[in-house]
Structure 1
Amino acid sequence: MSGAIEFPLGVAELSFEAAGGSLVRRSILRSGVRILTEQVPGARSATVGYWVAVGSRDEQPGTYGATHFLEHLLFKGTGSRSALDIAISFDSVGGEHNAMTAKEYTCYYAKVRDQDVPMAVEVLADMFTSSLLHPREFETERGVILEELAMADDDPADVTNERFFLGVFGDHPLGRPIGGSPESIRAVTRDAVLAHYRANYNPQDLVVTVAGAVDHDELVAGVEQALRQAGWDLEAEGSPVGRRSGEPDQIERGSPVIVVQRPIEQAHVLVGVPGLVATDERRTVQTLLNSILGVGMSSRLFQEVREKRGLAYSVYSFAPSYSDAGAFGMYAGCSPSKAAGVAELLLGELRRVADHGVTEAELGRARGSLAGASALALEDSDTRMTRLGRSELTLGEFLDLDEALRRIELVTPGAVQELARDFVTRPLSIAAVGAVDESMFAGLDAEPTAA
């Protein structure tokens, strides 16, 4: 494979060989269902994923948290399987099954031996198409989700992360917590969640991705059989739902400094700025900038904050990207009395890259780190299955390992510095949880100046 492979929605069949000899195929059924597989030589297991391009950002007032609520409910039983039956299906073969709700998609997945792939396809299809959302189960799961939210609220790092997104994205839907709030979960009705289910879980919304020990033609036949058995009309002509726009949205920052005061031993501090959209041509540059700043023990943040000064145990950076927005954040957990100084150090390292750039040696280490981490990650069929899903739903193109590494090699120190210069002109957001107050961060949130 040479270069990225485009995934146009109007092309029904695609097939190509990717790095390492894996075979990638995509079929779009007449009904609009999309099925993608990556057959990996020598694999004896596979990961199966059922996706919809609907996440927490797509919820309307009165239904905040409904997407995550629905994710829970799809495990609670169908007309032909109880919740216990679903669990036994996977437990009895040593498989794993779970789901993930994100801001822009939801995925239900299972990892099983090659011989159990047909079972996984059938059970996930039953869950996806035929969940009952029984009123009794609905109320039981409401309590479970409230406990999940309470558990997250007891984790100050989680709280800091949620407040950081609120600061960066403000009132934009991306700024909302994925799971909703205790108030929204207590208020949401079964009818609202059921309407959400019926509106978004249809043939044109469904993407099935399977990676590992999989035969594409057999997989397509199995998915079709399972969906027909569930009562779906696969003969009716339909087109896949369109992808989200990749144009950056105009987002107004929330409060520049958000502090949650708690009497805990550490202050959890996050500073950052808006980042890049998922399809931005500079996303590889952002990945390298993130690696140099805050990934691994040789990163600048780790060396400066932990190794040289001993101010934190956990320190890192991250760069989530969405269809029309993104964020770049830097985190540290430290003594409350040192919180302001640590925040200055985090921001200072980003500014130092903007002012002085990075060395060839640093860039070489980052390239090597990313190359190795990417290769190791692809030993897991979960990663390959997820790559297929994101390629189809968000990127509209597939990058194999060789192409990803080629793009990494093309990044120059100048490109990394230029992106850092861009970032330091963007509105700064600070979130902190602990025995701290807003006044400690006074001055750090000054409006940015143009480079």
Structure 2
Amino acid sequence: MSAKVTTLPSGLRVVTDAMPHLETASLGVWVGAGSRHERKSEHGLSHLLEHMAFKGTRRRSARAIAEEIEAAGGDLNAATSTEHTAYYAHVLAEDAPLALDILADILTDSIFDAEELEREKGVILQEIGAVEDTPDDFVFDLFNASAFPDQPIGRPILGTPEQIAGFSRDAIGAYLDSHYCSRATVIGAAGAIDHDRICADVEKRFSGLAAGGDSRAAAPAALYRGGEILMKRRLEQAHIVIGFEGLSYADEDFYALQVFANAVGGGMSSRLFQEVRETRGLAYSIHAFHWGYSDTGLFGFYAATGAKDVAELMPVALDCLGEAAQRLSEAEARRAKAQMKVSLLAALESPSARCEQIARQVMAFDRVLSREEIIGKIDQLDIAAIRQAGARALSSKPTVAAIGPVNKVFAPDRVAQRLRAC
């Protein structure tokens, strides 16, 4: 395995994977603080902080940050998720020190200018509006809120307009000081890089990152409850998510449920696609998903269908899931396993994807999982284990979320009843 991990004296972890045949490098900073680490009064701060990190430091203005990285032909971006916030760059190999310098600058010396803050609040309010205008995205916010009601993990990552409007520079600074510490941070790099040079550069440039505690431990435990949120809107289609409690990425059956999700709704040969779309023409878009978090997960399917087809789609889709939990075939399992392995191997060919993969693995497991280990776990799964993982998920209380013409969407108790009849 070519990946190397070093823990610096500050507790900051550095993980790299050299890809000598490349001439570019991807580098990033992953912080173990996302939306589920926020108190109610902080809802939306993780995402706002991500935006404000690019709005100027003591050494660089917002424009200078953009011009300096792009003058080198590179690009800089960031993303906030439920459990992490990431800042990353892609540059030519010789510009890796520049990328690290900019990343360190924005994370340890941002000034949070008051005028920039007000402008960026406006940008985020537009982003929230864009999500609410996009039902195939917004329905997943409703789904999360129903699965984990009144919990940080169930709140939308972007926050609410009221919360965003009220945040001050002091609130951002306090959140940064509380959560952005070396022991909760991983620096990743992949591509044309040298591990020892990256470590030396990181140690020098990130010395301003406070040691602190590990903010990953600050997130309250998730409690899946399930439930229902239906939002009537004048839309051509009903956007529907039916889900159940999934598995943590640390659960021994995690890969079994991943295979089950792929088999029932991960591709054109899957049960949902073939039965709902190809055979019956009940939906243009339908797919299954399984998301793993540190202590829980979510499994389910999404479908978009016309108002007249909702009543037929619901039982057909649920029957696909219920029957798969009992009679999924060996051939279906083999196809799903092959899809997962191709996705894994494809990530190894991209420095950006590889950088993210190894950083997230160190964040989650304190080590890099080898290709052979992951593929071995997938290959050793037998059909009984895959069916059992599917049945385990389907036995939990259903969560139902839908937007549009929702009158004929099944309630959670009716979803459970249909599955018991399979």
Structure 2 residue aligned with 1:277: 248
- RMSD over aligned Cα, in angstroms? 2.3
Q: Return the match for 1:342 from 313, 320, 334.
A: 313
Ranges in structure 1 where 5+ consecutive residues have no aligned partner: 1-17
| Residue deviations 1:201-255 (CA, integer Å, cap 9, x gap) | 2333332111111101111111122234xx558xxxx587275499x9561525x
Report if aligned partners of 1:32, 1:239 keep a CA contact under 8 Å in 2: no
- Contact conserved, 2:33 with 2:216, CA < 8 A, in 1? no
Equivalent runs, 1:6-405 vs 2, <5 Å: 18=1, 23-228=2-207, 231=208, 241=214, 244=217, 249=221, 251-254=223-226, 256-356=227-327, 358-405=328-375
Question: Helix, strand or coil for the counterpart of 2:79?
Answer: strand
Assess if the C-alpha contact under 8 Å between 1:257 and 1:438 holds in 2: no
Deviation at 1:435, TM superposition (A): 1.9
Counterpart-to-counterpart distance in 2, 1:343 and 1:438: 9
Give the structure with the higher percent helix.
2
2:381 to 411, 415, 425: 411
Q: Provide the secondary structure at the position in 1 that maps to 2:267.
A: coil
Residues 1:232 and 1:166: Cα distance change in structure 2 (over 3 Å):
closer
Deviates more, 1:303-312 or 1:219-228: 219-228
Q: Is the 8 A contact 1:109 1:124 kept in 2?
A: yes
Deviation >6 Å, runs of 4+: 447-451
Partners in 2 of 1:450 and 1:441 — Cα distance?
16
Q: Which whole-Å CA distance do the structure 1 matches of 2:5 and 2:299 have between them? A: 33
TM-score by length of 2: 0.94
The one-character-per-residue Cα deviations of 1:95-152 (angstroms, maximum 9, x if unpaired) are 1210010111101000111111111011111011111111111111000000010011
Q: Residue 54 of structure 1 aligns to which amino acid in structure 2?
A: A
Q: What percent of counterpart residues are identical?
A: 36
| Number of the residue aligned with 1:423 | 393
Report SS of the residue matched to 2:111.
Answer: coil
For residues 42-89 of structure 1, give each alpha carbon's deviation from its aligned partner in whole angstroms, at most 9, with x where no partner exists: 121111111210000111122110000000000000000011111112
SS of aligned partner of 1:90: helix
Aligned pair count reads: 421
> Does the 8 Å contact 2:55/2:62 carry over to 1?
yes
Partners of 1:400 and 1:70 in 2: CA distance: 33
Letter of the 1:349 partner, please give it: C
Cα contact 1:243–1:393 (8 A) shared by 2: no
Comparing 260-269 and 23-32, the one that deviates more? 23-32
Distance 1:118 1:450, change over 3 A: farther
- How far apart, CA to CA, are the structure 2 residues paired with 1:270 and 1:95? 38
Conservation of the 8 A alpha-carbon contact between 1:312 and 1:334: yes
Query: Distance in 1 between the 2:336 and 2:148 partners?
Result: 29
- Decide whether aligned partners of structure 1 residues 261 and 312 sit closer, same or farther in structure 2, where only a CA change above 3 A counts: same
Give the secondary-structure state (helix, strand or coil) at the position aligned to 1:260: strand
Cα contact 2:47–2:158 (8 A) shared by 1:
yes
